[in-house]
A and B are shown apart, each in its own frame.
Chain A
Amino acid sequence: MTDTAMAYSHGDPRLRSMAGAVAHSGPAPKRIVTGYGFWIFILSDMVMFSAFFAAYAVLLGQTAGGPSGRELFDLHNVAIETGFLLASSFACGLATIAADTRNANWFQLAMAVTCVLGLGFLAIEGNEFASLVMRGAGPTRSAFLSAFFTLVGCHGLHVSAGILWLLTMMAQVAAKGFRADIRRRILCFALFWHALDIIWIAVFTVVYLLGSAV
């Protein structure tokens, strides 16, 4: 029952049953509106990523005589990256539970673990990019590599932004506690972080596993 319906139905059983029947007509709680709006943003972000994926798939063979994915990609590293991001997504889920039970210590611990695993992911990715550029396989080498750096780099930028947001949430919870507005932000952050992991599934499958098969 929405808050408005509760307020109207208070004390009068006849009104209460009426409020139950028309419960949909009241305004939705702010948490649902905020979460839903952010969900729409995440879906639009995925549409943007789909354009990059389409570009990568189309340009996969256009190596301009340069190195192809099979020669460049180190699947061992990619497996470790995948593990880091998956574990950080799990830790983020634990942070959500801690926030719902208003347990500040567990929240901070789980967020710290999420942060460390995310930074580990970024470190491996940065290393990979640096070594590619060093070997003369930078984004300017071929259309294939341009598409690769755009797609994977864009995901990396999202993860970096997510880590800044994560640190902000840790500070806000420490300073302001689990206020309703802070908890809405935690909800949105968790959505964002889990969505990044979903995009990474597509990245490691399409870019690395399928890309090194060609």
Chain B
Amino acid sequence: MSNGHDDGIDLAPGDEHVEGGTGERILGYLTGLGLAILLTATSFFVAGTNLVWEPSIPVALVVLAIAQMGVHLVFFLHITTGADNTNNVLALAFGVLIVFLVIGGSLWIMANLNHNMMPMDQFMQMQR
């Protein structure tokens, strides 16, 4: 099975390190599809049910989403922990770092600003 590489020194992102035939590759995609469906269904179920303690729902949804992203990365994009994937994983790690800085930082700063902001009616009084 040729993906344009021979000995697996490096692997292009998206390329699969293949030992088996086409059947095994399709099975890999089917596994990913099954896991993704399971996680998506759980997300929608958790969001709409009363069976789960309510304050835990946002956390559960975030965890399920991150798990599903992992499933997509492994089974569809073939980003693995193998030695032939080091460059791809490092690039991904840097991307994830920036994403967390942007989202986490924005939420943190804005929550702080909201918290420290004077209520609007007091502010109007001071203007007089």
- Listed in ascending order, the chain B residues whose CB lies under 8 Å from chain A are 1-7, 9-15, 22, 25-26, 29-30, 32-33, 36-37, 40, 43-44, 47-48, 57-58, 61-62, 64-65, 68-69, 72-73, 76-77, 87-88, 91-92, 94-95, 98-99, 102-103, 105-107, 110
Contacts and interface: CB of A to CB of B under 8 A. Distances in A.
Nearest to A101: B22
A90 to B, nearest CB: 5
28 contacts: A1-B6, A1-B7, A2-B9, A6-B6, A31-B4, A36-B87, A39-B14, A39-B88, A40-B91, A44-B95, A47-B99, A50-B99, A50-B103, A54-B106, A55-B106, A75-B47, A75-B48, A86-B36, A89-B76, A97-B22, A180-B4, A187-B15, A191-B14, A194-B76, A198-B73, A204-B43, A205-B65, A213-B58
B65 A201 contact: yes
Interface of B is mostly: helix
Interface stretch (A22-30, A120-128, A150-158): A22-30
B17 to A, nearest CB: 13
Nearest to A79: B44
B95 A47 contact: yes
Q: Which has the most chain B C-beta neighbours within 10 Å: A51, A97, A188?
A: A97
Contact of A36 (B12, B64, B107): B12
Contacts of A191: 13-14, 77
A100 interface: yes
B4 A86 contact: no
Contacts of A32: 4-5, 10-12
A171 B107 CA distance: 45
Contact of A29 (B5, B25, B72, B107): B5
Interface in A31-55: 31-32, 34-36, 38-40, 43-44, 46-47, 50-51, 53-55
Contacts of A190: 14
B44 A209 contact: yes
B60 to A, nearest CB: 10
Nearest to B95: A43
A187 B64 contact: no
Interface of A: 1-2, 6, 23-24, 28-29, 31-32, 34-36, 38-40, 43-44, 46-47, 50-51, 53-55, 57-58, 75, 79, 82-83, 86-87, 89-90, 93-94, 96-97, 100-101, 180, 183, 187-188, 190-191, 194-195, 197-198, 201-202, 204-206, 209-210, 212-213
A101 B32 CA distance: 21
A54 B10 CA distance: 35
B100 to A, nearest CB: 8
Contacts of A97: 22, 25-26, 29
A82 B1 contact: no
B114 to A, nearest CB: 9
A25 B32 CA distance: 35
Contacts of B105: 54
